[in-house]
Amino acid sequence: MLLPSLPVLCRRALPFSRAFACAMTLTATLLTQTPASAADLPRVVLLATGGTIAGAADPRSQSGYNAGAVSAEALLASVPGIGMHAQLTAEQIASIGSQDMNESVWFQLAQRIDALAKDPGVAGIVITHGTDTMEETALFLDLVTATDKPIVLVGAMRPSTAVSADGPRNLLEAVMVAADPKAKGRGALVVLNDTIHGARDVTKTNTVSVQTFQSLNFGAVGGVSPDAVAFYAPPAPRRHLDLPAAGPLPRVEIIYAYAGVDAAPVDAAVKSGARGLVLAGVGDGNASKATIAALQAAAKAGIPVVRASRTGSGPVLRNIELNDDELGFSAAAFYAPAKARVLLQLLIANGRITPAQVQPAYLPD
């Protein structure tokens, strides 16, 4: 005898307003029923933080939505067949849009990952996250976690209620990567749109495209489809920085260069208590003479200064456009400004503040 569809079953027993939640619960039950071989599947833990992948429609506009409105369990339930790839458990760490991502959530994620890494029954970890600051969270976790177990960040460009939502497929592929032994030892990875990116190079490049994430300098590290996971090269060497026992991390401000910029942004950052400064410079990490002079004064006062570029790709090279040795600056190499900031926060937290201590951390392996 064929059963009615899940929404029909729910509508028979519940008001329409609760039918969707009921359908999600029933779907989750069916998807997580244990087949005979399920005990042999790797265990993957989902840590949910919100974001567009967990977004739900909002009536303010045709494509408006609220981030973080859908639970971790409902996300898993929305992906048919996901339980064929791993034994899955879910934990809700936060329910925010990634524009509100903060150090408190970062510390929670790092500490939970550390605990899960010690569990021999856990094969990998998936983190659902908004796309706006995903690259920063990925780098932070890549730097402060020491486990060789896969840490996979995943998100979506369309909310869960959108036509042709990209979240379910992205989540399926993230679970596949986290469960794959070939992903071990690669640090934090970002999986969207059938592509696997490394934490250091990946960046968001488009406001709406589902292929927004690109690794502009070194390229993607792998690819994934519903059938297979493939990596293009062996794991790259990893760097590790100790995570402070508690926050906050040292305050590091980004100074954005533009035509006509003067010393005011630097002066304001120093006055507000910045313990480090990153220049999002024009070209090869440059800025006006007034800005450079203000940054030099900050460096002489013991505030680490790192030159990065606002261009989006390419390296910022030491002692090319500017005399970094004379100015007391470090060059960010291939780190974009937002990532250069995360790295500098952790370097300062680990007592590395001089150019001789800071510069090596930015150089390619």
**Token code pair at residue 223:** 């690819």
What is the C-alpha separation between 157 and 141, in angstroms, rounded?
Answer: 22
Nearest to residue 70, comparing CAs of 159, 158, 152, 131? 159
Q: How far is Cα 147 from Cα 131, in angstroms, rounded to an integer?
A: 24
Selected catalytic residue, list 27, 52, 131, 195: 52
Neighbours of 325 (CB within 10 A): 10
Q: Please give the Cα distance from 80 to 31 (Å, whole number).
A: 7
Residues 6+ apart with CB under 8 A from 68: 49, 50, 51, 54, 55, 94, 95, 96, 97, 130
**Helical axes 134-144 vs 103-117, angle rounded to 10°:** 50
Is the Cβ–Cβ distance between 83 and 38 less than 8 Å?
Answer: yes
How far apart are alpha carbons 351 and 347 in whole angstroms?
A: 6
| H/E stretch holding 238 | none
Closest CA to 208 of 52, 49, 60, 72: 52
- pLDDT tens for each residue of 299-355: 999 999 999 999 999 999 999 999 999 999 999 999 999 999 999 999 999 999 999
CB atoms near residue 283 (< 10 Å)? 14
CB 345 within 8 A of CB 298: no
Beta strand extents in the chain (DSSP E only): 43-50, 56-57, 65-66, 87-96, 124-128, 151-154, 188-192, 195-198, 202-204, 213-215, 222-224, 229-231, 252-256, 276-281, 305-309, 330-331
Classify burial at 39, counting beta carbons within 10 Å of its beta carbon; exposed 0-12, middle 13-18, buried 19 or more.
Answer: exposed
pLDDT reported for residue 324: 98
Q: What pLDDT score does 1 carry?
A: 30
CB of 277 closer than 8 Å to CB of 306? yes
- Tokens at 39, concatenated: 């005990």
pLDDT tens across 166-214, in order?
889 999 999 999 999 999 999 999 999 999 999 999 999 999 999 999 9
Residue 311 annotated to the active site: no
Q: How far apart are the first and last CA of the chain?
A: 62
Report, as ranges of residue numbers, the positions in the chain whose pLDDT lies below 50: 1-36, 57, 61-62
